[in-house]
């Protein structure tokens, strides 16, 4: 049986369906990217996968033979989190809280694993530094190390590169890819279709119609073709805006001179 399987799943709020007829299967070592327009229900599905919300219809099955898998979660960063006044080590090890109940101390094995996850994420040297003094990319690595402490072997990442510059974004994607190659199953919500096509093994597209399949099948599907073309157009429009702004700056300078 698959790690996670959704059958005719509907997600939403108090009887209001946001997305329905969702069917997908995630097997060990898969890299699933959940894509779709803003407001299509990606975060709502995420909350349902984390069992913070009940499905409105259908079902989700977790684990093999009904065994529940722990999911490590990397939430979207909020302004409040960026200013969190705790040390890197404290934040990483707090990933064990869900497993051990809310107690302020951790056992030897947990401390060792937290240290190992900080090493994996290349942040061991910052372990005593205050989280809020780190750069955006370093903060994401801290949250990823924390999610690894919480994870059995599934990581759920909600827009993990939002707000990061292109170089740090590429590093973050590489890091996630290396975790996947180590055998960790990845579920990532992203509006970055380029990254989805590059890194994912499977795509779940949520919107007016729902698509689930391998990345290769997605590229050939009507949903994939439409979404890729739209993204391409949006990027072109953005480039034109930047070009026009650059021309304006140069013209302004020339008039001043
Ligand atoms: P996405 O993550 O794809 O941008 P969301 O899952 O955040 O989409 O939102 C899907 C829809 O659910 C939106 O129309 C949104 O307004 C609505 N929604 C989100 N959160 C709530 C909530 N707590 N209560 C009621 N409706 C909500």
Q: Which domains does the chain have, with CATH numbers?
A: 2-220 (3.40.50.300)
Q: Which residue has the higher pLDDT, 79 or 106?
A: 106
**Contact at 8 Å (CB) between 199 and 176?**
yes
Highest mean pLDDT among 17-26, 103-112, 241-250: 17-26
212/59 Cα distance (integer angstroms): 16
85/79 Cα distance (integer angstroms): 13
Considering Cα of 166, then 167, then 170, then 172, what sign does the dihedral take? negative
Give 211-239 pLDDT, tens digit per residue.
999 999 999 999 889 888 888 888 888 88
pLDDT of residue 117: 92
Q: How confident is residue 56, by pLDDT bands cut at 50, 70 and 90?
A: very high
Would you tell me how many other CB atoms lie within 10 Å of the CB of residue 3?
A: 22
pLDDT at 78 over 80: no
pLDDT of residue 107: 84
Phi–psi pair at 251, nearest 5 degrees = -60, -40
215 close to ligand 1 (CB < 6 Angstrom): no
With 0.75 as the threshold, say if the pTM is over it.
yes
From residue 108, alpha-carbon distances to 99, 114, 235 in Å are 15, 10, 49
pLDDT of residue 65: 44
119/138 Cα distance (integer angstroms): 13
117 close to ligand 1 (CB < 6 Angstrom): no
36 close to ligand 1 (CB < 6 Angstrom): yes
Pick the atom of ligand 1 nearest to 37's CA: 3
Average pLDDT estimate for 143-153: 86
Which of 13, 37, 162 is the best mutation target for the ligand 1 pocket, counting ligand atoms within 8 Å of the beta carbon and taking the most? 13
Give 81-118 pLDDT, tens digit per residue.
666 778 999 889 888 876 555 566 788 888 999 999 99
Pick the atom of ligand 1 nearest to 45's CA: 6
């Amino acid at each position: 049986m698959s790690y996670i399987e959704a059958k005719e799943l509907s997600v939403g709020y108090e009887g209001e369906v946001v997305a329905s007829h969702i069917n997908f299967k995630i097997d060990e070592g898969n890299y699933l990217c959940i894509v779709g327009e803003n407001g299509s229900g990606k975060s709502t599905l995420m909350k349902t996968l984390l069992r913070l919300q009940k499905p409105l219809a259908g079902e989700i099955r977790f684990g093999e033979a009904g065994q529940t898998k722990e999911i490590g979660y990397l939430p979207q960063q909020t302004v409040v989190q960026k200013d969190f006044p705790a040390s890197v080590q404290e934040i990483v090890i707090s990933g064990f809280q869900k497993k051990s109940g809310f107690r302020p101390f951790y056992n030897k094995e947990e401390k060792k694993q937290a240290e190992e996850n900080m090493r994996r994420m290349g942040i061991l040297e910052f372990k005593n530094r205050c989280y809020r003094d780190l750069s955006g990319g370093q903060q994401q690595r801290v949250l990823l190390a924390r999610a690894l402490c919480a994870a059995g072997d599934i990581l759920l990442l909600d827009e993990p590169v939002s707000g990061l510059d292109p170089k740090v974004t590429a590093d973050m994607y590489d890091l996630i890819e290396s975790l996947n190659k180590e055998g960790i199953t990845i579920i990532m919500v992203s509006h970055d279709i380029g990254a989805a096509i590059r890194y994912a093994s499977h795509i779940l597209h949520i919107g007016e119609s729902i698509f689930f399949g391998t990345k290769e099948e997605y590229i050939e599907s009507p949903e994939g073709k439409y979404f890729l073309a739209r993204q391409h157009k949006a990027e072109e429009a953005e480039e034109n805006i930047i070009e026009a702004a650059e021309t304006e700056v140069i013209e302004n300078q020339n008039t001043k001179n």
